[in-house]
Copies of this chain bind each other. A is one copy, B any other.
Amino acid sequence: MQNFEYYNRTKIIFGRGTEKAVGRETAAYLKGQDLRILLHHSGGHAVKSGLLDTIKDSLKKAGVAWVELSGVKPNPRLSRVYEGIELCKKENLKFILAVGGGSVIDSAKAIALGACYDGDVWDFYARKKTPAAALPLGVVLTIPAAGSESSISSVITDERGPWKQGVNTECIRPVFSILNPELSYSLPPYQTACGIADMLAHIMERYFTKEPHVDLTDELCEGAMRAIIRNARRIFSGGGEDYNARAEIMWAGSLAHNNLLSTGRIGDWASHGIEHELSALYDIAHGAGLAIIFPAWITYNIKEDTPRLARFAAEVWGVDGAFYDPKQAALEGVFRMKNFFRSIGLPVSFADAKIPADRIPEMARRAVRFGPQGNYRSLNAGDVEAIYRIVAEEK
């Protein structure tokens, strides 16, 4: 097991009706300070569903005033981030409340960084500068997926490239996050499914490690993945308004990405890098891109160190441990994973997602522009290209 530091200061407020606590939590955090905040959201479902009214009510009752910035899109754009930064600076706002899913939260995190920085916030995403400070932010989560509600990550798309880049820094970890599973009832099934693929991918990225001595976290990863798969099936087979299944999925999405599951190990993360090129160029949902890439990533890697891939198949996908041989077991695991993704309506090939195969070499070059992808397996442009080819040839 490798040395590690683990620190997660996000206060989670979880359960039915908890969005009504947002005013109280915000005012408590800002105690003694100016109670004026940036309220950041997509302007879509949160408005129509009445959630935003509930939140404004709660803020008003707690004496919190806000300036609103809406219109965040999936794969959140840098241009909106710039607007938010300007707004915070002009209005001297010292706190951001993000109401939405990963896109809104990641956009809020970028604004939080930019508001405390004199240069271009893209410097942090382009790896030219390391962030030193950010405004504090709170979250009301509506989409269980990215885990951004208690993570140190933010991923933004600079539409001028387009480049999709992430930054990881402790200073953007939300100070509180409110998680009410009921808010996810009204998600379209496709978005629910994309969220499920995203959280599974967050755990898989951590699970695939070179570190052999991570017994406890292996158990936690495998257990969390089984719980996600089981409750996803429950949502898709039994109807979307199953509170307990929604709750398991929502809490799992947070735990998948709050770094507990990577303690003592270094994860892989190549699939995320390989996927980012898909969503940068074709603007598909990140979760859908991961459902396409991850099975191919495993298939490509089966040639080496198969035991961990076979264990994954056995413990997570229920493949009999004695199944033929480790390689065959690992392949059977991939087969079941793809079946699962398809069963909840996700694409597992370029054809499924209507992605053309004509820019594969370009995507592969872009994916390795900062160096090889992956820690469990180091992949160069040729490897990445081969992985794209696997999904391009998939029927």
Q: Interface residues, chain A, CB within 8 Å of chain B? A: 1-18, 181, 213, 215-216, 219-220, 222-224, 226-228, 230-231, 243-244, 247-248, 251-252, 255, 260, 263-264
Checking B3, B12, B215, B248 against A1 with a beta-carbon cut-off of 8 angstroms, the contacting residue is: B248
CA distance A322 to B222 in the complex (A): 23
Checking B1, B5, B213, B228 against A13 with a beta-carbon cut-off of 8 angstroms, the contacting residue is: B5
Distance in Å from the Cβ of A207 to the closest Cβ of chain B?
13
Q: Are B248 and A216 in contact (CB under 8 A)?
A: yes
Q: Are B5 and A216 in contact (CB under 8 A)?
A: no
Q: Are A14 and B4 in contact (CB under 8 A)?
A: yes
Stoichiometry, as copies per complex, reads: 2
Distance in Å from the Cβ of A19 to the closest Cβ of chain B?
12
Chain B residue numbers with a CB within 8 Å of A247 are 1, 213, 264
Q: Are B7 and A11 in contact (CB under 8 A)?
A: yes
CA distance A248 to B1 in the complex (A): 8
Q: Are B9 and A9 in contact (CB under 8 A)?
A: yes
Q: Are B226 and A219 in contact (CB under 8 A)?
A: yes
CA distance A3 to B252 in the complex (A): 15
Chain B residue numbers with a CB within 8 Å of A216 are 223-224, 227-228, 231, 248, 251-252, 255
Cβ-closest 4 pairs across A and B: A3-B15, A219-B223, A213-B244, A7-B11
Residue of A216, A243, A248 most packed against chain B (CB within 10 A): A216
Q: Are B1 and A11 in contact (CB under 8 A)?
A: no
Chain B residue numbers with a CB within 8 Å of A1 are 15, 181, 243-244, 247-248, 251
- Smallest CB gap from A9: residue in B: B9
CA distance A255 to B263 in the complex (A): 11
- Smallest CB gap from A211: residue in B: B244
Chain B residue numbers with a CB within 8 Å of A12 are 4-7, 263
Chain B residue numbers with a CB within 8 Å of A18 are 3
Q: If the complex has contacts A9-B9, A220-B223, A220-B224, are A215 and B248 also in contact, measured as CB distance less than 8 A?
A: yes
Checking B3, B213, B248, B251 against A14 with a beta-carbon cut-off of 8 angstroms, the contacting residue is: B3
Chain B residue numbers with a CB within 8 Å of A4 are 12, 14-15
Checking B11, B14, B227 against A219 with a beta-carbon cut-off of 8 angstroms, the contacting residue is: B227
Distance in Å from the Cβ of A230 to the closest Cβ of chain B?
7
Distance in Å from the Cβ of A145 to the closest Cβ of chain B?
16
Q: Are B263 and A260 in contact (CB under 8 A)?
A: no
Given contacts A3-B18, A5-B12, A213-B244, 4 further A-B contacts (CB under 8 A): A5-B11, A5-B13, A219-B224, A219-B226
Chain B residue numbers with a CB within 8 Å of A220 are 220, 223-224
CA distance A326 to B207 in the complex (A): 34
CA distance A8 to B11 in the complex (A): 8
Chain B residue numbers with a CB within 8 Å of A16 are 3
- Smallest CB gap from A221: residue in B: B223
Q: Are B215 and A230 in contact (CB under 8 A)?
A: yes
Chain B residue numbers with a CB within 8 Å of A224 are 216, 219-220
- Smallest CB gap from A242: residue in B: B213
Chain B residue numbers with a CB within 8 Å of A8 are 8
List 14 interface pairs A-B (beta carbons < 8 Å), by A numbering: A2-B15, A3-B14, A4-B12, A4-B15, A5-B11, A6-B14, A9-B9, A14-B263, A215-B230, A216-B224, A219-B223, A219-B227, A220-B220, A247-B264
Chain B residue numbers with a CB within 8 Å of A213 are 244, 247-248
Chain B residue numbers with a CB within 8 Å of A251 are 1, 216, 263-264
CA distance A4 to B21 in the complex (A): 13
